[in-house]
Structure 1
């Protein structure tokens, strides 16, 4: 059995579908369905069981044979200001679940984040000197990374952290304000509104990665369990202006309107990210990442197809 926490969420549900595509059906979905809309992300997916997230740590030992744990569940609201809540969900829960796996030789593959790097004034490499998160979300992810680093040398089972950069793609309809710019632009166009970008977006550059590539990297470490923390981006930084124009090119008649960035957001806004994939590539990962244009076209086609 494979466990996927956050299995009804954005990245988790895409991972479940990718596991199905590679012949894995014995999957335990772990999530919190307080937001019932998330169940739609699992439409057509094959899995054998579901468990609320609060049950898993105490019941893990009684589950029987577990082949791998993909820990994708988290509070991903980067603007969340309740630090105690953020640390309880992203750090304490992750720590407790990890310690259930240690010593079992069950691979533990978890979602970290490029938010640990902050403003990006130093290279985006997996080293403490370059890690300066701007918000408590990034801090919660970095704190768990630090905990993992402290025990890797003596861990009996593989523990793999993947630092996701700017992920976009299908199955994010439930995310509200945290949905990707692409989703918001397509939604605006459907309402007859212009596509909105922050002023100066040609200067804001991010490493945008399609969720299919995220799933592929996760499956790579299922096939080849290795301990360590690895960046997970395309290795190419593109501007939000590039992104907006790529979306505009897929939507006939779409126009772009620039708006001012709220001051509250600007203080914790990453204006540049670019993954250094040296460590990932050294593990033997050699699949080609989708280009921004190809990924946007694929996603917009999915968003605009008739139901």
Structure 2
């Protein structure tokens, strides 16, 4: 059996799909369904069982978990604006430690979600302590678990892979609300209002020119599957290695929607862009906490054997908008 924590969520459900595509259906999904409509991420997938996280944790602690091939640990409180630090640390740090130790005792591969948020505003995105300075409790919880793992390297018995995801977008993220990718927000805004909203210039960047490393969920899943097949324990950045602007994401979304509406224009003119993209001030709550630039250093990932090219924003958005447009409304 394979276990996917957070399996009804965005990345987790896509991992379940990837396992299904390999003919694997003996899967236990662990999650919180306090938001019930997350179940929609699983209706087209095949799993053996579902379990709430608290029930699963008791199963682990009581030694009743057996016959496990690997654990994909994607479950976490992922709200970067969360203020209940105790809740975040229990879910993201303590729970992760319990699973890590269980996997080591039973020689089970452990693949878990870290986050690019561990880097904060350092401007460096390399998997080294000097580059890590998280800005919020979510980032701190991920950073602290990475640190905990680092102190165990010499004693590891089973493979452990930590993936510092950058800005992931793609299918099955509808439930994330404000935490969903800008690609999804732009898609919904343009269909509803015929324009999209981006942040005005900050940190020396022009309007909408803040840049992030946007990575399609298919690439994230491919990295996970690669290390499942070819274990190479480590903490890895999972991004494309190429930052692109929010303007580029918006234009890619709009161009794709326009083409699907059979409009003759294939690309936005300067006038059309001015009408379709509007800039708003950044909320006060984000001042001093907003990463205006991220770009993964992926040399460690490449050195560990992952050689597949990543989708660009233009390629990934085209794939995503096509999927969104085909969904029933």
Scaled to the shorter chain, the TM-score interval is over 0.9
1:150-206 C-alpha deviation (Å, 9 max, x unpaired): 112102111110000000001111111111111111112222342111112443111
* 1:63 lines up with 2:69 in the alignment: no
Give 5+ residue unaligned stretches, structure 1: none
- The number of residues matched between the two structures is 306
* TM-score (norm: length of structure 2): 0.90
The residue that corresponds to 2:312 in the other structure is 291
**Cα distance, 1:99 vs. partner?**
1.5
The residue that corresponds to 1:184 in the other structure is 185
1:181-235 C-alpha deviation (Å, 9 max, x unpaired): 1111111222234211111244311100001110110111110122210110000
1:222-233, aligned counterparts within 5 Å? 222-233=228-239
Counterpart of 1:167 in 2: which secondary structure? strand
Work out the CA distance in 2 between the residues paired with 1:211 and 1:8: 15
The residue that corresponds to 1:22 in the other structure is 22
- Contact 2:162 2:235 (8 Å CA) reproduced: yes
Greater CA deviation, 162-171 or 262-271?
Answer: 262-271
The residue that corresponds to 1:117 in the other structure is 119
Counterpart of 2:300 in 1: which secondary structure? helix
Work out the CA distance in 2 between the residues paired with 1:10 and 1:204: 24
214, 219, 231: which one aligns with 2:220: 214
- Contact 2:198 2:208 (8 Å CA) reproduced: no
**Cα distance, 1:71 vs. partner?**
0.1
Counterpart of 1:174 in 2: which secondary structure? helix
**Cα distance, 1:140 vs. partner?**
0.7
Change (3 A) 1:306 1:71: closer
* 1:272 lines up with 2:293 in the alignment: yes
Work out the CA distance in 1 between the residues paired with 2:189 and 2:294: 26
Counterpart of 2:297 in 1: which secondary structure? coil
- Contact 1:188 1:195 (8 Å CA) reproduced: yes
**Cα distance, 1:274 vs. partner?**
0.6
Counterpart of 2:11 in 1: which secondary structure? helix
The residue that corresponds to 1:83 in the other structure is 85
Give 5+ residue unaligned stretches, structure 2: 202-206, 264-274
Work out the CA distance in 2 between the residues paired with 1:197 and 1:215: 28
Greater CA deviation, 284-293 or 54-63?
Answer: 54-63
- Contact 1:57 1:100 (8 Å CA) reproduced: no
Counterpart of 1:191 in 2: which secondary structure? helix
Any runs of at least 4 consecutive aligned residues in structure 1 with deviations exceeding 4 A, and if so which? Answer: none
Change (3 A) 1:48 1:238: same
Work out the CA distance in 2 between the residues paired with 1:133 and 1:271: 14
- Contact 1:120 1:273 (8 Å CA) reproduced: no
Work out the CA distance in 2 between the residues paired with 1:41 and 1:164: 20
Bigger Rg, which one:
2
CA RMSD of aligned residues (A): 1.3
The residue that corresponds to 2:94 in the other structure is 92
The residue that corresponds to 1:161 in the other structure is 162
Counterpart of 2:72 in 1: which secondary structure? strand
